[in-house]
Structure 1
Amino acid sequence: MSLSQLKRIYWAFNPPTVEKRTDALRFGIIGAANSAAWALIIPAKLHPEVVIQAVAARDRKRAEEFAKKNGIPEVKDSYQELLDDPNIDCILVPLPNALHFEWAVKAIRAGKHVLLEKPSVSNSIEAEILFKMPELDQPNPPVLLEAFHYRFHPIWSVFMSLVNPADVVHVDTYSMIPWWFVNKDHIHFNYNLAGGTMMGMGTYNFAALRLIFGAEPEECISADVKAFTEGVHHDCDYEFKAKFRFPNGCIGEAFSTLQGPTVWHPSYATVTHRQVEVPDKTLPPSQEKFVTREVTIHGFIHAIFWHRVDVKESYEIRDKSTKKVIKKWTESRSQKAHTPKEAGGDLANLEGETYWMSFRYQLEAFVNRVKGRETAYWVDREDSLNQMKMVDMAYEKSGLGVRPTSKFQAN
C-alpha cells in the first residue's frame, strides 16, 4: 500500500470538520447501528449543510453511548419521538432489513426526508407500497433515497461511460466478505430480519447487472445457494451464485459470499461486448475492422480503499469478400478516479476530494435533492422497486423463498 493511499484512507475516516451553514439539514438516526458511521456520521463532517442532531435506539443507554461517541447532541426515548420532532429534517434508517419498511413509511408520513439503507425493504410487496406512497407524489414531497452509495462515486461514472448497454452480451459480478468479519449470529443470517447474502452484498451485484444492461432481467436461470438450515438462521444464504437472462438472450451472473476466504478480495464487474465494426478510413475498401471490448471495474463497492477500471479491446482486420482475418491485436488501458475532476466528462466541474468516500458523494446528491438542486446521478423509486423484484426472483429460484413481509400495516 502506497503512502498516498494510506493518507487518503486516513483522511477518509478522520476528515477535517467543515463549518456548518445556518440552514444546514438536521438529521436524526433511527437505531444505533455501526453502519451509520460510514453512511452518514463521517460524511456529515465534510458537508457544510448537514448536522447530526439526534439518535434513538431501542435501548436508551445504547443510544446515549452512541451519541457520546459520535458527538450527537440529542438522544430521543423512541423512534417515534425522533419522527415527531419538528426540528429534524431528515432521517437515516440503518435498521435491520425487516424494519426498513415500517420506519421508512412512518418517516415519510411524518414529512421527513429519508436516507434508507439498502436493501430498501424485505421484498417487492413492501417495495410496491413504499415507493408508491401517495405522499411521494404530492407537491414538494419528502426525498426518499435507497442508499446504493457506490453508484455515486466518480469511478462508477467512468466505468459506465465505457459500457454500451446495447452491445453488452455478458456480465460477471463478484463481491465478498471474509468469514471472520460476519459470524453466524449476525443479523445478516436472521431469517425473521430478512437476512441472507442476496439481501446483503448480493444487492450490489444485482444493481450492477441492471445498470450495465440498462434493462431488467427477464428470468433467473439459476440460483445456487449455500444456506443455514436451523433456528433463526433457516433459509438464510451465506453464499450464492445466480444467473439471469436479460433481453436479447444476454446473460448476467452474480456471485457473493458473506463467509469468504480469510483474505478480502475486492469486488468486480466484468463486461463483455459483442464484436462490432469500427469505421477506419485508413483501410483499403476491400478490408473491414472489428473490435470486441471487455471492461472490468475492480473494487467498485468500496472504491476509497482501491479501485481501477481496465479496458481490453481486441481488434481484427478482415478481407471483406473472404472474411479471412488479416491482422489481430489487443490494446489495453486502465484508469482510476477518486474525484469528479479525475473522472472528467460531465462530472469535471463538481466538488470532490480524493478522500471522499462514496458515502460522501451520495450525501452530496441527497442534500442537493432536498435543497431543490440538480444532481448528477440519482436512484429513483422505480429503480428501487425493480431492484427488489430482481432479489425476489433470485430467492424464488433458489428455493429459499422471498424474505418475509412485515406485519406492519401501512394502510
Structure 2
Amino acid sequence: MFGMLSRIYTAIAPPTVEKSKDGAIRFGILGAAKIAPMAIVVPAKSHPEVVVHAISARDRGRAEEFAKKHGIPVVRDTYQEILDDPDIDAVFIPLPNSLHYEWAVRSVRAGKHVLLEKPSVDTAAEAEILFGLSQLASSQPSPPIILEAFHNRFHPAVQKFLSLVSPADVAHVHTDSMVPWWLTARDNIEFNYALGGGSMMMLGTYNFALLRMIFAAEPAECVSCETRGFGDGVHDKCDTSFRAQFRFPNGGTADAMSTMRGSVWWKPSEARVTHREVVVPNDGDGKADPLHETVRTRVVTLHGFVQAIAWHRIDVKDTFVLRAKADGRTLRTWTEASSHKAYTYAEAGPEFADAAPGEPWWMSYRWQLEEFVNRVKGRPTQFWISGEDSINQMRMLDMAYEKSGLGLRPMSEFR
C-alpha cells in the first residue's frame, strides 16, 4: 500500500528537472481544460526537453488563473495567437471534441506539432481529412507531427498485456470501463451532442482501441450496440452508457461496455481475452509424441487498462489437456496461473529492452510525452499511433453509433 501511495504521489507531484538550453520543445495549450494539468503540465515537469510556454482560453481571466497556478509564463487572448507565436513549437489541444478537427487542422497548417486529445475528431470523415493533411505536410523539411493522445496505450502494463496475447487465436474479448455518476453532471460537455459528447466518445473509445490492438485487426462488423441515456428530451442523442458487440476477421467476437454514470465506487477497467484451444508441445524432452497431444486454452486479463499507474494486474490462466490422439480421450488436465505487473518496461521483460527506461511513477501521460518528443526529435519510437490507426479508430466509433441508431456526431463546419 505504501509503495502504491508513494508512486501515485510522485506521479502527480514529480521532481522538476532542469530544462535543455538548446532544443526544448515549447508547448502552447489551447483551452484551460480540466485534463490539461494531468495530460501535459505535470508530465512536462520531469521532461528536460519540454516547456509549457503559453496558454489561451475563451475567457482570458480563466487562462490567467490557470497560468498563475501552473507557472506558465505567457497568456494569449486567442487560440490563433498561440498558433501565430513563433516561440511555440507544439500545441496540446484538450478542447471539446467538436473543436478538435478545426484547431488541429489550423495547427498543422501553422506548422505546429500537435498532441491531440482523444478522440481525435468526431467522425471518420474528419479523421481522413485531418490525417490526410498531416500526410501531405510530411513532405516539408520539418513536417508537423500529430498524435492522438491515447495515453494508456503507451503504458508498460498495456504493452506487457498485449505481449501475452496471440491475436490470431483470440476467440472472445470482454472489456468494461466506468466513471462513477458523481464525477459527471447532466449538463457537462460529456453529454453535449453538439460538442461531440457521449459515453462511447469519452470513455468507450478506450475499450475500442484496446480491442483493435488485441485482435491486431479492424472489426468486420458491429453486431449490436445498445445505449442508455437520460431520456429527458434534451440529451437524447448522447449515450450515458452502452454495450456493443463486434465481430473480427478471424471469427472472434468482442464485447465493449462503458458507463459514465456508474456506481458510487470506482471499478478498475478490465479486458479479458479468451483464446481458442491450440496444440502445444508435450511435457518432457520436447520430442514428438505420436500417441498424445497437449492442447492449451489461455485467458489473459488486464485489470486497470485505462489508468494503470493507480493500480493494475495482469492475470494469465492456461488450462492444459493431454489427449490420446487415437480416440480423443482426456488423460490429464491441469492449470497454470501467473500474475504480472509492469510499471516500467524493465519490469515488463527483456522483450522491451529497446523501450524508454522510465520510472515506476511515470503516468501513462508521461510515457506518451516521451514518445511524442522522440518522434518530434527524429528518434526511434516504439509504440507510435499512426494517422491511419486514428482513422480506423474513428471508423469503429462510427460503426457503433450507426448501429445504435443514435447516428454520427455532427461534423465540423470548418474547412
Q: TM-score, normalising length from structure 1?
A: 0.97
Query: Alpha carbon RMSD of aligned pairs, Å?
Result: 1.1
d(CA) in 1 for partners of 2:26 and 2:351?
A: 30
- Once the two structures are TM-superposed, the CA of residue 136 in structure 1 deviates from its matched residue by 3.2
d(CA) in 2 for partners of 1:204 and 1:345?
A: 27
Q: Helix, strand or coil for the counterpart of 1:328? A: strand
Counterpart position of 1:6: 5
- Once the two structures are TM-superposed, the CA of residue 155 in structure 1 deviates from its matched residue by 0.8
2:369 to 356, 363, 371: 363
- Once the two structures are TM-superposed, the CA of residue 231 in structure 1 deviates from its matched residue by 5.7
- After the TM superposition, which of the residue ranges 128-137 and 147-156 deviates more from structure 2? 128-137
- Once the two structures are TM-superposed, the CA of residue 128 in structure 1 deviates from its matched residue by 1.1
Counterpart amino acid of 1:109?
R
d(CA) in 2 for partners of 1:249 and 1:343?
A: 30
2:39 maps to 1:36: no
CA contact (8 A) 1:192 1:232 kept: no
1:190-212: per-residue Cα shift (whole Å, max 9, x none)? 00001000001100000000010
Q: Helix, strand or coil for the counterpart of 1:373? A: coil
- Once the two structures are TM-superposed, the CA of residue 345 in structure 1 deviates from its matched residue by 2.6
Residues 57-96 of structure 1 aligned to structure 2 (within 5 Å)? 57-96=57-96
Q: Helix, strand or coil for the counterpart of 2:306? A: coil
2:328 to 320, 323, 326: 323
d(CA) in 2 for partners of 1:33 and 1:281?
A: 56
Identity %: 58
- After the TM superposition, which of the residue ranges 189-198 and 273-282 deviates more from structure 2? 273-282
- After the TM superposition, which of the residue ranges 124-133 and 94-103 deviates more from structure 2? 124-133
Residues 12-411 of structure 1 aligned to structure 2 (within 5 Å)? 12-22=11-21, 23-133=23-133, 135-139=136-140, 140-230=142-232, 233-280=235-282, 282=284, 284-348=289-353, 350-409=356-415
Give unpaired runs (5+ residues) of structure 1: none
Give unpaired runs (5+ residues) of structure 2: none
- Once the two structures are TM-superposed, the CA of residue 348 in structure 1 deviates from its matched residue by 3.2
- Once the two structures are TM-superposed, the CA of residue 38 in structure 1 deviates from its matched residue by 1.1
d(CA) in 1 for partners of 2:405 and 2:411?
A: 17
- Once the two structures are TM-superposed, the CA of residue 63 in structure 1 deviates from its matched residue by 0.3
- After the TM superposition, which of the residue ranges 222-231 and 210-219 deviates more from structure 2? 222-231
- Once the two structures are TM-superposed, the CA of residue 227 in structure 1 deviates from its matched residue by 1.6
1:367-406: per-residue Cα shift (whole Å, max 9, x none)? 0000000011110000000000000000000010010001
1:229-278: per-residue Cα shift (whole Å, max 9, x none)? 44652310000000001113210110000000100000011111100001
Counterpart amino acid of 1:51?
V
Counterpart amino acid of 1:8?
R
User: CA, structure 1 residues 30+318, in 2 after alignment: closer, same or farther (shift >3 Å)?
Assistant: same
d(CA) in 1 for partners of 2:122 and 2:29?
A: 20
1:134-179: per-residue Cα shift (whole Å, max 9, x none)? 5433233210000000110011111011001011111110100000
CA contact (8 A) 1:154 1:337 kept: yes
Counterpart amino acid of 1:355?
W
Q: Helix, strand or coil for the counterpart of 1:122? A: coil
CA contact (8 A) 1:49 1:367 kept: yes
- Once the two structures are TM-superposed, the CA of residue 24 in structure 1 deviates from its matched residue by 0.6
d(CA) in 2 for partners of 1:394 and 1:321?
A: 46
d(CA) in 1 for partners of 2:10 and 2:389?
A: 33
Counterpart amino acid of 1:276?
V
CA contact (8 A) 1:229 1:236 kept: no
Counterpart amino acid of 1:380?
S
CA contact (8 A) 2:282 2:289 kept: no
- Once the two structures are TM-superposed, the CA of residue 344 in structure 1 deviates from its matched residue by 1.9
- Once the two structures are TM-superposed, the CA of residue 284 in structure 1 deviates from its matched residue by 4.8
Q: Helix, strand or coil for the counterpart of 1:233? A: coil
1:304-358: per-residue Cα shift (whole Å, max 9, x none)? 1000100000000000101000001111000001011101234235321111000
Q: State the aligned residue count.
A: 408
d(CA) in 2 for partners of 1:146 and 1:363?
A: 12
d(CA) in 2 for partners of 1:345 and 1:300?
A: 21
Counterpart amino acid of 2:371?
A
Q: Helix, strand or coil for the counterpart of 1:173? A: strand
- After the TM superposition, which of the residue ranges 41-50 and 248-257 deviates more from structure 2? 248-257
CA contact (8 A) 1:239 1:258 kept: yes
